[in-house]
Amino acid sequence: MSATDFRTCPVTALKVHRPAEALVKVNAVVAVVSLLIGAIAAVLLVLTRWQAVHLLPAEWFYRILGVHGMSMLIFFIIFYEMAVLHFASTALINARIVAPKLGWAAFALMLGGATLVEVMMWTGKADVLFTSYVPLKADPLYYFGIILFAVGALLVCGIFFANLVVAKREKTYTGSLPLVVYGAVTAAIIAVITLLHGAAIYIPTFLWSLGLMEVDPQIYRMIWWALGHSSQQINVAAMVAIWYMLGALTIGAVVLNEKISRSAFVLYILFISMASAHHLLVDPGMGSAWKIVNTSYFMYMAVLASMIHGFTVPAGMELGQRLRGIGTGMFGWLRQAPWGDPGFSSLVFSVVVFGFVGGITGVTIGTEQINIIVHNTLRVPGHFHATVVSGTAMAFMGATYYLIPLVFQRKVAFWGLAKIQPYLFAGGMFIFVMAMTFAGTFGVPRRHWDISFSQAPFDVAFNPAVDVLLAFVALGGIIAATGAFIFVAIAVKSVFFGEPIGTLVPGVAVAGLPQGITNPPKHVADVDRRNEELHAPGRGFLGPAPGTMVLVFIFLAAFIVYFFVNWKVLSFVWKIG
């Protein structure tokens, strides 16, 4: 290691280890390519589920559904998370990557595995959907590709922990890890739990596909979901870490209480992976005690954690704004926020849709009794598109608008488009998610090529409103996919053909650079006096962040109404008398 291995970031003054930075770049680029593949697949899918268009034949619908699931839920998200892990364990604590060659080997394994899986799926040798439930059998190379990918990701987690140990020994930071890095630690730990379960199920399934052993379908489902669902919990932790980072970068958000935020991350580590049991709530092989303990008593600890972050992130943003004297009244801090900064707008949309839509629907449909009216309907993908796409993908896009200048040292291309891209993506996804959720309420099944059953000997009549709702699914999906394509175009142009950021003059706006970079939020001189005023007892029970408190009460009211409406709907299933 030499001093030339490091560069100093002109914006944050952080020491950036170049070998780690290279790995951040390649992982982020592959993540964006995966997003492109997944978004193309998404357009084909929504145009098929829209009954009036019904684009793909059945075989290709299910094939593309598998491609969409793997490209988005696994490759896009996990490659991006690997970039986050490399970034958080080096740049954010002025540290170095301890094993860069191993990092490249891990990347090669992941890339090779992902390519193998894509080839198997596109060539029709793995028409087993994302879940690949046994006894559906794919080509052995499909399972082998996933194993390669998982081993690579596990190696990156190992490098991440090693970086932290060496950084502590070399005293590149003092005291506790910064909160954003702590969020990355949480993501890495959940990733280890997830990948261990992935190995526990995919290695036997690979051997089964070669005819060397048997795999019990119920055991497969139980262990597979510890991979399939927990992998999305890695996203949650990484997303929340990005929320804290973007809040600080864009409007100088403060951390309300380190203990509270860290406790919430620890609750994730201990309890969030059990949410996997939601997928088995109607499985006859699992008992009620196992289902209820996993999805209720323990899982609610993780729900509590999400609600804590859902409060502390916006409250920290509000307090940061008020400490700098920005905004008056209940929501002035929000009105005067930099809505033209795509990093900020992405952050807000991610928090709001993840919490209000993804969170409320998730907890409700994860209740054992209510799940019976939800299972395998479009309400399920309606829920997880609100969390994984509107929440996680939106946050990752917002972070990218800062990563491009900070890591790639390029201006964001197509700056005008970049400003509206979060609105397009979030707006489209909101239409998509709501339409899907309502269609599911009418009993429309998920993963279904043709709900008109046109060639079947029997008929199922859905409410006519379903046709309109599925058209809105397509409309929202196409708008969101357009937002995703614009994002990909911006990322590719910026990274490969972008203009260098040049010399920055603090306070001078530059097209292509978010305002958090050209004019970083700073505390004012009398910040302590303002802080005392904001925390004065005379401000009443709404405290120093009254706007966020009002939003919290609206959230809780929506939660209560949605929850009890679902119990009421459930009561219609068994009519007595």
Partner 1 sequence: MPEPPVQDEQAVPLGQRLFDNVFLLLIAGIVIMAVIYTGWGLWEIMTLPPATLP
Binding site for partner 1 (CB under 8 A): 161, 164, 174-177, 185, 189-190, 192-193, 196-197, 200, 216, 218-219, 222-223, 226, 259, 262-263, 266, 269-271, 273-274, 276-277, 285-287, 290, 293-294, 298
In the bound state with partner 1, the residue whose beta carbon lies nearer, of 34 and 261, is 261
Phi-psi region of 376 (alpha: psi -120 to 50; beta: other; left: phi over 0): left
Minimum Å distance from CB 85 to partner 1? 13
Torsion sign (Cα): 449, 454, 456, 458: positive
- What the block records as the tokens of 64 is 């593309």
Rg for the chain (alpha carbons), in Å? 24
Minimum Å distance from CB 379 to partner 1? 24
In the bound state with partner 1, the residue whose beta carbon lies nearer, of 77 and 222, is 222
d(CA 374, CA 134): 23
Minimum Å distance from CB 215 to partner 1? 12
Torsion sign (Cα): 33, 37, 38, 40: positive
In the bound state with partner 1, the residue whose beta carbon lies nearer, of 178 and 428, is 178
In the bound state with partner 1, the residue whose beta carbon lies nearer, of 17 and 262, is 262
Minimum Å distance from CB 102 to partner 1? 19
In the bound state with partner 1, the residue whose beta carbon lies nearer, of 190 and 313, is 190
In the bound state with partner 1, the residue whose beta carbon lies nearer, of 219 and 558, is 219
Which secondary-structure segment (H or E) carries 6?
Answer: strand 6-8
Longest dimension (CA), the chain: 81
In the bound state with partner 1, the residue whose beta carbon lies nearer, of 150 and 190, is 190
DSSP assignment letter at 136: S
In the bound state with partner 1, the residue whose beta carbon lies nearer, of 47 and 193, is 193
Which secondary-structure segment (H or E) carries 138?
Answer: none
d(CA 309, CA 315): 9
51 with 100: CB under 8 angstroms?
A: no
Helix, strand and coil in the chain, % to nearest 5: 70, 0, 30
Minimum Å distance from CB 523 to partner 1? 19
In the bound state with partner 1, the residue whose beta carbon lies nearer, of 176 and 369, is 176
450 with 539: CB under 8 angstroms?
A: no
Minimum Å distance from CB 277 to partner 1? 6
In the bound state with partner 1, the residue whose beta carbon lies nearer, of 107 and 268, is 268
203 with 147: CB under 8 angstroms?
A: yes
- 3-class DSSP state of 383: helix
54 with 48: CB under 8 angstroms?
A: yes
Minimum Å distance from CB 216 to partner 1? 7
Minimum Å distance from CB 247 to partner 1? 21
409 with 9: CB under 8 angstroms?
A: no
DSSP assignment letter at 32: H
Minimum Å distance from CB 479 to partner 1? 38
In the bound state with partner 1, the residue whose beta carbon lies nearer, of 125 and 168, is 168
- Cα 137 to Cα 61, 125, 140, 207, 227, distances in angstroms: 18, 9, 8, 11, 18
- Burial annotation 93-120 (CB, 10 A radius, 16+ → b, else e): bbbbbbbbeebeebbebbbebbebbbeb
In the bound state with partner 1, the residue whose beta carbon lies nearer, of 166 and 475, is 166
- The pairing of strands 6-8 and 15-17 is antiparallel
Torsion sign (Cα): 241, 246, 248, 254: negative
In the bound state with partner 1, the residue whose beta carbon lies nearer, of 85 and 357, is 85
Minimum Å distance from CB 274 to partner 1? 5
By residue count, the chain amounts to: 577
In the bound state with partner 1, the residue whose beta carbon lies nearer, of 226 and 444, is 226
Minimum Å distance from CB 134 to partner 1? 13
How many other CB atoms are there within 10 angstroms of residue 314's CB atom? 25
Minimum Å distance from CB 105 to partner 1? 22
Minimum Å distance from CB 308 to partner 1? 14
Minimum Å distance from CB 160 to partner 1? 10
How many other CB atoms are there within 10 angstroms of residue 535's CB atom? 11
C-alpha closest to that of 404 among 528, 493, 289: 493
d(CA 86, CA 164): 11
- 3-class DSSP state of 377: strand
